[in-house]
Amino acid sequence: MFVKTVSKSLFLLISLVIITCIIYPGILWIIGQGFFPFQANGSMLYNSENKPIGSKLIAQPFTKDEFFQPRPSAASYDASASASSALAPSNYALRARIASSIGAVAKYQNGQSITSDIEKWFKENLYQGKSNIVSQWATLHNSLATAWINADPSHSAYVDQWTKTHPEMVKQFIRDNPSITQPKAVDLAVVFFQNFSKENPGKFPSSINQTVNGKTESTIQPTINDSDIQSLFFDMWRQDNPDMLLQTIPSDFVTTSASGLDPHISLENANYQLDRVASKWATHLKRNPKDVRNEIEEMIKANASAPLGGLAGEKFVNVLELNIELEKRFGPPL
C-alpha cells in the first residue's frame, strides 16, 4: 500500500513538472516566437546602425536638445525601481521640482523667454520686499539647500572650503546645535547660503568651466546668470510677479507617471518641444529652420496614436520611436 501510494504521488509530481515546466512554457514560447516575436523579445527598438537601444515599453532619458524628452521619472528611468514620487500636492518638494522644470523653458504668451527677466529680478536681490534672496530661499526651504549640496561632489567640496575661511560661523553653529559636534557640509547648508548671500548679493554659487594648463576644470564661483538661478528661483520670481501671463505648459512635461517609466508623451507635449528640437537640427544640418520644423512636425503626426486604434483617449507619441526616426532621417547629432 505504501509503495503504491508513493508511486502514484511520484507519477503525479513528474507529470505536473513535465506539463508546467516543459510543455506549457514550450507552447507559450512557440506561440510567442511564431506569432508575436517582437513582443515576446521585449519590444526592442533598434537605431540606424541596427543596434538595440531600448524597449518600446520603457522610457529612457535623452539629454541632447536635438531629441524629444520623456516625462520626468521618480525612478530615474530604472526599470528595476519602478515607482512614483508619492509626493502630495501640499509637499513643497513637488512644487519645487515642477518649478525648476518650468523655469528653464517658460515663456510669455508672446513667445519671449522669461529667463532674462528672472536673472534681472534675481540681480536686484529682493524678494517680497526683503533683501538677500538666496538667504531667504535657504531659510524657507532648507531641504532644497541641502539637495544642492548633495547634487554634486564639487558643491560639498566648495562648502568644506568655506568652513575653513569661516571658522567662527562653524563654531556658532555647533553652539546652536550641540548634538552636532562635527558638522558636515549638508548640516551647514542653510548657514552657508545665509552667509553667501550677504557676501555675494545678487549672486549664486554655480559651476564654471575654466582651462588651466590645457585642462578644462569645473569650479564653483558666484555668478549672476546661470541655469540654476532660472530653475531654483522661478517659483519665488512667480510669487513676486503673479500677474505675468505665461504660456501654458503641458502637464505631462513636468509631472511623473505612476511607474516613472511611461514611454509616451502627449501630442501636446511633443508639439511644445517641437521648436527646440527643430531649431537644434536646423543648426546642426545648416538647413532652413522652417523646412526642418515641417518635416519633424509630419514625423510627430505619423507617430501619434490613441488607445484602441484611436477610439478612446487623447493622442500620444512614443518618445524612443520618435527619436529613432529623427536619427535615421537626419543622422546622429553632434
* Cell (9 digits) for 176: 546652536
Greatest mean pLDDT among 153-157, 255-259, 318-322, 330-334: 318-322
The percentage of residues in the chain with a pLDDT greater than 70, rounded to a whole number, is 97
Q: What is the pTM of this model?
A: 0.75
Identify the three-state secondary structure at position 246: strand
Query: Left, alpha or beta for 206 (phi > 0: left; psi -120 to 50: alpha)?
Result: beta
- Of the candidate ranges 31-35, 66-70, 92-96, the one whose mean pLDDT is the lowest: 92-96
- Mean per-residue pLDDT for 66-93? 86
Q: What is the pLDDT of residues 224-235, one digit of tens each?
A: 877 788 889 999
* Cell (9 digits) for 142: 532648507
- Mean per-residue pLDDT for 219-246? 89
- Helix 189-199, helix 142-151: angle, nearest 10: 90
Task: Supply the mean pLDDT for the chain.
Answer: 89
Question: In sequence order, which residues have a C-beta less than 8 Å from that of residue 223 and are 6 or more positions away?
Answer: 203, 204, 205, 206, 208, 229
Q: What is the pLDDT of residues 120-133, one digit of tens each?
A: 999 999 999 999 99
Q: What is the pLDDT of residues 148-180, one digit of tens each?
A: 999 888 899 999 999 999 999 999 999 999 999
CA 320 to CA 314: how far, in whole Å?
A: 19
Identify the three-state secondary structure at position 152: coil
- Mean per-residue pLDDT for 265-292? 93
* φ/ψ (deg, to 5) at 230: -60, -40
CA 42 to CA 260: how far, in whole Å?
A: 18
